[in-house]
Structure 1
Amino acid sequence: MTGNLTFAYWGGSDGEEAGFAYAKKKFESENPGATVTLKAVPYASFFSSIDRGIQAGNAPDIFRVDYTTIGKYSKNGVLLDVSPYFSTDEIDAFLPAMWGAIQYDGVPYGVPHQTDTTCIVYSKSAFETAGITSVPTTLKDAWTWDEFSEVAAKLRSSLASNKFPFAYDWTLAGAYRWNSWLYQAGGTLLTSDLSASALPSDAATKALDYTKSFFTKKWVPATNTIKTSTYSDNFFLDQTVAMSFVGDFLVPELAAAKTGYQGGDWGATFLPQDAGTGADLGGNAIVALKDTKDPELAAAFLKTLVSEDCMKYFCEQAVELPTLQRLASEKLKYAYRPDVVAVCAEQATTISDTIVAETTVGGFADINTALQNQLELAFHGQSTESTLSALSTQINKALSS
């Protein structure tokens, strides 16, 4: 195969950069005459630049897209249907839920490149000072909400007034991670056919009341709201909090010898559970434009990106989770803290088909914006009833538009 492709992605960690460069080198060596131009764009302006490019007819052939945004593009019919390029055996090599994450109306658009999810990291010395002697080491033993509350209360009692038990990773585009509490409470965001909001509900009321209490009980910093300028990992890095909810992709940052966490030994454990379990579907797909000048070449590069060799290297260097079944069951040689990544990998098993389906529905980008706006208001005093009512109205609008 010969020809030229442009691949756009938002600038990530050094590990991600190395992973993309590795795939480019492999693809070009296996396809003499083919060239892939890598184009890194800041995340803040990434999708606006993609949208402008699509409208102007000069968008990149291939681009990265998070699972919470892919539905926007597949719904609007601008992505390449990759079904002609993948055999049944190749499709079956992926984790079923992850292959489902790139489908819209049963049609696959792009490839599930990697995934990530949230775990809890914590300061061992802060826990020792607070008298917390037992931390779950298996998913089945994860704290219940009541047990998590006890841990938070012990930390609150032992910490200085300007320090806090934890921070949560729901900042800005991560607003949808609040849904983990909803799933843990036994609820869902949407009806089973994904056509309408499932709010208000008893589970949603319980989840929102519980998360609002984080602020009234001073378990989280007052600035750990949705539209803050400080992310959960930064609260942990500057030792404002004793534990934090973070994605596995942040492990390299936390583990860096000179710039990482300087508060002593730190460990990781699982998300709390209530009536059920639940976690956030993080990570990204790689998609090609339907109007790319060479769809076969684009599809071939997509297949290289998710080849076992390239996915293994990318995930090990970037400290993220693979989407191929064989790699998911293999012990990868992660560049940083494989013990922490193992917690995230086990936590990822709680990402149900329902969570995947709701997170990748066509209007989810607008739903996430609604979550940003309404949760911010809720954490600043808006009633639970008003919040869930407004969310329901805005979710239904997003699904029908």
Structure 2
Amino acid sequence: MALSRRDFLYGSLGTAVLGGLAACSSVHSDTNSNGTSSAPATPSDEGKSANIGKVTGELSFAFWGGSTGETMGFTNAKKNFEAANPGTTINLKIVPYDGFFSGIDRGIQAGNAPDIFRVDYTTIGKYSQNGVLLDVSPYFTASEVDQFLPALWDAVKYNGTPYGVPHQTDTTCIVYSKKAFETAGITSVPTSLDDAWTWDEFSSVAKKLRSSLPSNKFPFAYDWTAAGAFRWLSWLYEAGGTLLTSDLTKCALPSDAGTTALDYTKSFFTNKWVPANNTIKTSVYSDNFFLNQTVAMTFVGDFLVPELADPKTGYKGGDWGATYMPRDKAAAADLGGNAIVALKDTKNPELAAAFLKFLVSEDIMKYFCEQAVELPTLKSLAGEKLAYAYRPDVVAVCAQQASTISDTITKESTVGGFADINTALQNELELAFHGQSTSATLGAIATQVNQAL
């Protein structure tokens, strides 16, 4: 089924996504996915080496094993790039997400890391600030850069220099069992972002589900597990708070908004709205709770839609739908998605740059996002119909939710020390959900955030 991104990004999403999220845009390789040359740079274009020219050689590209669609997308890119550039070989290395970056770190120290690797936006700053990534600015003209949504191009920059390409983005929505909602007497589910549940309304839904479900079933599960701890910040932004001061130099979490957000999310446990093991450091993720029907609804990223919708191994609890994140003083979401980067010390930087550009060329990105069910980062694709492999109706919800990712969210999520900040969130939120006081939690996070900055 075809899905119009124009309706999402230019219509219901409006200019907030195009100007604020800047998560969707891309640049073209000198050789496009059909093997033909792109237009030469104009004299006014920046980037003296933007026209890379003929490339040959062999490089390795590591990415974590996600969905079948992601693997299909990267395999398609490899095949087409090698066909368009005879004499090149891109060796794909699929690695589990758990331990992926510790493996990258060991490889960098030992001098045998992959030439190119995938990195989420919340982790890229760790590598760019340490000077280990390839500066890609010489390989992109100003007009090529302009093809990206500004906020996502900004997400790969450190001190004004881009160290990679924004490959795709994703964000969180709620999926729910229609049967469980009917049983609980929940007859109204938001069908537009403007009508998203308030926190009070969301609480009412959770209470109805709690009353109708057996004691071993729960209203919902959240997606803050492990490296996803930063997604808790959505509730802080919804409460009207920020993680950092406006100059991004200090933690601003200890605040009325921080207290409100943490107290409310701690109530998920005291009210038994979530399973007791739905904690930050659990081994069970939000999608698993939904798949095994332990919960009636759950928070998931759009990249998990293929898993839920798979006719053989997906959700077996009947019809399911999707709706928006709840809102308090504001609506908000998390900046999900990934960049692709190359090491500064790669033996063939021009080949690496050519492959990065190819990955974000229009045809290659379109195919990847359709198969992986993820949101593209090219402005041009905003006006295209994407034939998502699964549940385009759910992608529509996520695309609209993405419009609530503000410049503040983007900037705070991509500061150089955010990987350490995310670790602090993992550790302290885990303690908070097991009894640590709100004030102690906010104070401990603030101390660690300031150290990371």
Which string of whole-angstrom CA distances, capped at 9 and with x for unpartnered residues, describes residues 184-220 of structure 1? 0011101111111012011010000000000001111
Match in the other structure for 2:109: 55
Query: Who is 1:89 aligned against?
Result: 143
Aligned to 1:282: 336
Distance 2:180 2:204 in 1: 15
| Number of residue equivalences | 399
Amino acid at match of 1:325: K
**Corresponding position of 2:298:** 244
| Counterpart pick for 1:195 among 234, 246, 249 | 249
Matches within 5 A, 1:2-401: 2-399=56-453
Distance across 1 between alignment mates of 2:343 and 2:447: 32
Which structure 1 residue ranges, 5 or more long, are not aligned? none
Q: CA deviation at 1:45?
A: 2.0
Distance 2:258 2:448 in 1: 16
SS in 2 for 1:115: strand
Residue 86 of structure 1 aligns with an amino acid whose one-letter code is F
Could you tell me how far 1:49 is from its partner in structure 2? 1.5
TM-score by length of 1: 0.98
Partner SS state of residue 98, structure 2: helix
Aligned equivalents of 2:98, 2:204: Cα separation in 1: 38
Q: CA RMSD in A?
A: 0.8
- Give the drift of 1:329: 4.1
The answer to whether the 8 Å contact 1:316/1:333 transfers is: yes
SS for the counterpart of 1:43 is coil
Shift of 1:29: 1.1
Residue 325 of structure 1: how far off its partner (Å):
1.5
**SS of equivalent to 1:382:** coil
Partner Cα separation in structure 2 for residue 127 and residue 302 of structure 1 = 45
| Whole-Å separation in 2 of the counterparts to 1:125 and 1:58 | 52
**CA distance 1:215–1:329, shift in 2 (3 Å):** farther
- 1:205 maps to amino acid: T
Q: Is the Cα–Cα contact under 8 Å of residues 200 and 392 in structure 1 kept in the other structure?
A: yes
Deviations 1:21-63 (A, max 9, x none): 1111111111111111111111112111111111111211111
Residues in 2 aligned to 1:398 and 1:300: alpha-carbon distance in whole angstroms: 34
Give the aligned residue type for 2:406: S
Tell me by how many angstroms 1:95 deviates: 1.3
CA contact under 8 A between 1:97 and 1:352: conserved in structure 2? no
What do the CA deviations read for 1:321-348 (whole angstroms, capped 9, x no partner)?
A: 1111221343311000000011001111
Which structure 1 residue ranges, 4+ long, deviate > 4 Å from structure 2? none
Q: TM-score, normalised by structure 2?
A: 0.87
Aligned partners of 1:74 and 1:362 also within 8 Å = yes
1:295 aligned partner, one-letter code: P
Q: Deviations over 1:349-390 (max 9, x none)?
A: 111111111111111111001000100000011110000000
Identity of aligned residues (%): 80
Q: Counterpart of 1:48 in 2: which secondary structure?
A: helix
Shift of 1:305: 0.3
For residues 263-312 of structure 1, the C-alpha deviation after alignment (integer angstroms, 9 at most, x for no partner) is 00000000001111111111110001111111111100000000010100
